[in-house]
Structure 1
Amino acid sequence: MAVGILDFGGQYNHLILRRVLELGFRGSFLDPNEPVDRIRQSFKCLIISGGPWNIPGDLPKTGNAINYILEFPGPILGICLGHQLMAYAYGGELAAGYPEFGGVRVHVDREDTILRGTPNSFTAWESHNISVVKPPRGFEILAHSEKVPIEAMSNEALKRFGVQFHPEVRHTEHGLVIMRNFLELCR
């Protein structure tokens, strides 16, 4: 199954592709300006990567990302910037003042599809200035940290999942479990 990875030039994007391949899936990077119809025809699921921008100020730099999030029929995992874009697209609230860098303790509030098999808390790798502070309607909060109220969220009916941290980075405990759980939705 082909996994599209929306590439915003984030520092860990190459690791997303590496993890997808290691877990037995095909993957390729996508330009954020690709037409939604082409994406819909070519991929079973999408990963919206991290990147250097802040939402909503840098929204124009993200190309068609909001359209992908709202219109793509398959599962989507938003990582860091992708998590923030997903929250923004569906009406969640973002705020500055909750930066996290390096290893952060994440506490699982609700084990769902993507957090299945993870412990009640684990260390995750973070690199962000903007955070999701209120989930969109229909999304459930899955995890939080001491500073950030929404480290992970999901809307299983829409097949939308977001994590503020980087599961693709080896410093994130159980990151491969989280990636595998998402990718199993792509079969």
Structure 2
Amino acid sequence: MLPIFVVNNFGQFNHLIVRMLRDLDIDTKMVQNTTPPEEVRDGCRGLILGGGPSIERTGNCAAYLDLGLPVLGVCLGLHVIATRFGGTVTPGRSGGYGAVEVTIEDHDTILAGYPDTVEVWASHQDEVSVIPAGFNRLAHSPICQAEAIACPKMRIYGVQWHPEVSHSLDGRVVYQNFDQVTREG
């Protein structure tokens, strides 16, 4: 079985995503965001678009969304998804990293197994302010109306928070659920 690629968007936690996947016995490989789309398409069964400092430095990430592969966007990865499909990303009201209580609205697929509320660690420097057409809101918080979104038909998901950090309760669940999505063909 092919690995899941973690796309490095220069975020400080991308290596933690790889570590968490390996700890869960999920075959993974980190790739640069400048990797040609055809190499990505032929080399993996799904993609995690990692976080990073700037949407201007996300290389080929928007093109990867056209490959027909399952995709999970984390923080900046979510922003790439939203803007690629016509949504809007704007500066958040709360700025830097910190704890936030997220309300799960849709427990299907990527957030299966979570309680109705979960404490996570997130940056809200930027956030999705308009969800793209065809996407559903999966979760929100008092400071962000789009903590998680999805287009299950395209198998594209995004979360504002960082499931890979120890401050996010049961973050492994997001990655286990995404692994399952990549296995379902």
- Distance in 1, Cα, partners of 2:77 & 2:124: 12
2:144 to 129, 143, 148: 148
Task: State the 1:103 CA deviation.
Answer: 0.9
Amino acid in structure 1 at the alignment position of 2:23 = E
Aligned to 1:38: 39
Aligned twin of 2:114 = 118
Paired with 1:30 and 1:19, the residues of 2 have a C-alpha distance of 16
Instruction: Give 1:100 shift.
Output: 4.9
Taking the aligned partners of 1:50 and 1:33, their CA distance within structure 2 comes to: 15
Equivalent residue number for residue 48 of structure 2:
47
Structure 1, unpaired ranges of 5+: none
Match of 2:67 among 66, 72, 75: 72
What does residue range 174-185 of structure 1 map to in structure 2 within 5 Å? Answer: 174-185=170-181
For 1:12 and 1:167, how far apart are their aligned partners in 2? 10
After TM superposition, the structure 1 = structure 2 runs for residues 13-32 of structure 1, keeping only pairs within 5 Å, are 13-32=14-33
Q: Give distance in 2, aligned partners of 1:46 and 1:86.
A: 12
- Partner of 2:124 in structure 1? 128
Aligned to 2:82: 87
Q: TM-score, normalised by structure 2?
A: 0.94
State the number of aligned residues: 181
After superposing on structure 2, the runs of 4+ consecutive aligned residues of structure 1 that deviate more than 3 Å are none
Q: Structure 2: give runs of 5+ residues left out of the alignment.
A: none
Once residues 167 and 134 of structure 1 are traced to their aligned partners in structure 2, the CA distance between those partners, rounded to angstroms, is 22
Partner of 2:158: 162
